[in-house]
């Protein structure tokens, strides 16, 4: 199964790590328009006033702003690498993320338990989401992946015709945040599309779902993770309709002829012969679930409402599966029992570091040897694959690449 990245993934840090470094391009609409950016700023003031933005705030933020037109290329890019689902999961549910997740579980255990008490979202789901969105805060302020949000949103609101209304609303939301004193313009650092902080809030989420959970009199997705995690749990609870205490789902074995469309109770699925892959009994047999087998011949899952609650944060099932699986692994559970067709086990942390060291020694820049596989490592792997004739040259740091490197290239 090969898939494209969803729009919400493009807004997340996970997708930022996949972003293509391209030459800034101004779209045809902006280049050919008679309206210059300054004219647009003057005209947009009316919408800002209608949202309650003062002239003082508007002039301070947009009066001398230069739009970040490099975002147009980001908005139009196609992923440089296409990953099969098992590759996507292996790269994200990695030893590095699992290990750091366990450290964060110990460090922020009290906070996560309070959030679960207040919003019902279990601690390991929150850890999985935090790990996916920002590598537990590791890239929140990393200039390699982040940029000032206001110039990016202003450029999109001015010159991107396909979703101009959306970008205008998000820019207005950001102006409201600034006027409320929750952030200064230069403090709003995030993705090319405006996603910010530990859990990559868009301004609309910050404004409407944010929580001053650490009681410092402002709401912020930056700094201590309290507000970011609590606001995200609130989002999943309210907009995703998360059910307290309900598992996200189960890996299952499906006998021939048992598949059905739509939701059934877990008891009904069991009556059709569907069993948990680990042989255990189903709890909450009254809960409803959908059957999903993302890759023919690979693992199958019964998905409850809580899987879809997580998916509400980014409408991609691959993304949601990575979050809940990462959460399970942080909790001490094992890999999926059934193998994906054509798949292989993920490399361990020492193996990934070995790949990075061997590539670096051969002149392929991996951007470090920390065991994290980001864009630099993927490009280095792809270049190595091409140099030695390994096909496909897909940038995936797997067993074949490790074996070839150990042979001396």
Q: What is the CA radius of gyration of the chain?
A: 23
User: What pLDDT is recorded for position 144?
Assistant: 76
Percent of the chain exceeding pLDDT 70 equals: 90
pLDDT band at 162 (very low <50, low <70, confident <90, very high): confident
Q: State how far the alpha carbon of 315 is from the alpha carbons of 77, 156, 182, 321, in Å.
A: 19, 22, 28, 11
* pLDDT score at 234: 98
User: 25-39, 179-193, 314-328: which range is least confident on average?
Assistant: 25-39
Q: pLDDT digit string (tens) for 14-47?
A: 433 333 333 334 454 554 455 899 999 999 999 9
Mean pLDDT of 330-349: 95
Looking at the chain, the domain(s) classified CATH 1.10.8.350 span: 7-78+143-238
Query: What is the homologous superfamily of the domain 7-78+143-238 according to CATH?
Result: Bacterial muramidase (1.10.8.350)
pLDDT band at 128 (very low <50, low <70, confident <90, very high): very high
Per-residue pLDDT, 257: 83
Q: Residue 374 has what pLDDT?
A: 87
Work out the average pLDDT over 149-171: 95
In tens, the pLDDT along 210-267 reads 999 999 999 999 999 999 999 999 999 999 999 999 999 999 999 988 887 899 999 9
pLDDT bracket for residue 5 (50, 70, 90): very low
pLDDT score at 77: 58
User: Can you say whether the dihedral through the CA atoms of 273, 276, 279, 285 is positive or negative?
Assistant: negative
Residue 75, pLDDT score: 74
pLDDT of res. 33: 52
3-class SS string, the chain: CECCCCHHHHHCHHHHCCCCCCCCCCCHHHHHCCCCHHHHHHHHHHHHHHCCCCHHHHHHHHCCCCCCCCHHHHHHCCCCCCCEHHHHHHHHCCHHHHHHHHHHHHHCHHHHHHHHHHHCCCHHHHHHHHHHHHCCCCCCCCCCCCEEHHHHHHHHHHHCCCCHHHHHHHHHHHHHHHHCCCCCHHHCEECCCCCECCCCECHHHHHHHCCCCCCCCCCCCCCCCHHHHHHHHHHHHHCCCCCCCCCCEEEEECCCCCCCCCCEEHHHHHHCCCEECCCCCCCCCCCEEEEECCCCCCCEEEECHHHHHHHCCCCCHHHHHHHHHHHHHHCCCCCCCCCCCCCCCCCCHHHHHHHHHHHHHCCCCCCCCCCCCCHHHHHHHHHHHHHHCCCCCCCCCCHHHHHHHHCCC
Q: Count of CB atoms within 10 A of residue 10's CB? A: 21
Query: Model's pTM, two decimal places?
Result: 0.89
For residue 365, pLDDT over 90 is answered with yes
- What's the mean pLDDT when you consider all of the chain? 90
- pLDDT for 389-400, tens place per residue? 999 999 999 999
């Amino acid at each position: 199964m090969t898939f494209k990245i969803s729009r919400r993934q493009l807004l997340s840090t996970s997708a930022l790590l996949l972003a293509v470094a391209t030459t800034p391009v101004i779209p045809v609409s902006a280049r050919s328009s008679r309206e210059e950016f300054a004219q647009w700023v003057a005209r947009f003031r009316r919408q800002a006033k209608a949202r309650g933005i003062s002239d003082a705030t508007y002039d301070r933020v947009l009066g001398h702003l230069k739009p970040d037109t490099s975002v147009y290329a980001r908005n139009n890019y196609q992923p440089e690498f296409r990953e099969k689902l098992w590759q996507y999961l292996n790269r994200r549910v990695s030893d590095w993320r699992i290990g750091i997740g366990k450290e964060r579980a110990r460090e922020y255990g009290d906070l996560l338990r309070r959030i679960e008490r207040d919003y019902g979202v279990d601690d390991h789901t929150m850890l999985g989401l935090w790990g996916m969105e920002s590598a537990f805060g590791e890239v929140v302020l990393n200039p390699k992946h982040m940029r000032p949000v206001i110039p990016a949103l202003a450029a999109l609101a001015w010159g991107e015709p396909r979703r101009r209304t959306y970008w205008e609303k998000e820019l207005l939301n950001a102006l409201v945040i600034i006027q409320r004193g929750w952030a200064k313009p230069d403090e709003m650092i995030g993705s090319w599309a405006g996603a910010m902080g530990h859990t990559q809030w868009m301004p609309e989420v910050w404004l409407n779902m944010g929580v001053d959970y650490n009681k410092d009199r402002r709401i912020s997705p930056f700094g201590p993770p309290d507000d970011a995690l609590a606001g995200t749990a609130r989002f999943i609870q309210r907009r995703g309709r998360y059910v307290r205490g309900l598992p996200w789902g189960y890996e299952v074995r499906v006998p021939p002829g048992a598949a059905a469309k739509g939701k059934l109770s877990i008891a009904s699925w069991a009556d059709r012969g569907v069993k948990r892959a680990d042989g255990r009994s189903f709890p909450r047999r009254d809960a409803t679930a959908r059957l999903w087998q993302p890759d023919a011949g690979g693992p199958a899952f019964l998905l409850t409402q809580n899987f879809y609650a997580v998916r509400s944060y980014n409408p991609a099932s691959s993304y949601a599966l990575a979050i809940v699986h990462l959460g399970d692994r942080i909790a001490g559970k094992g890999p999926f029992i059934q193998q994906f067709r054509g798949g292989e086990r993920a490399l361990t942390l020492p193996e990934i570091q070995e790949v990075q060291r061997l590539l670096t020694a051969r002149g392929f820049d991996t951007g470090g040897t920390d065991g994290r596989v980001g864009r630099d490592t993927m490009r280095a792997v792809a270049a190595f694959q091409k140099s030695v004739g390994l096909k496909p040259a897909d940038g995936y740091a797997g067993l074949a690449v490790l074996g070839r490197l150990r042979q001396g290239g």
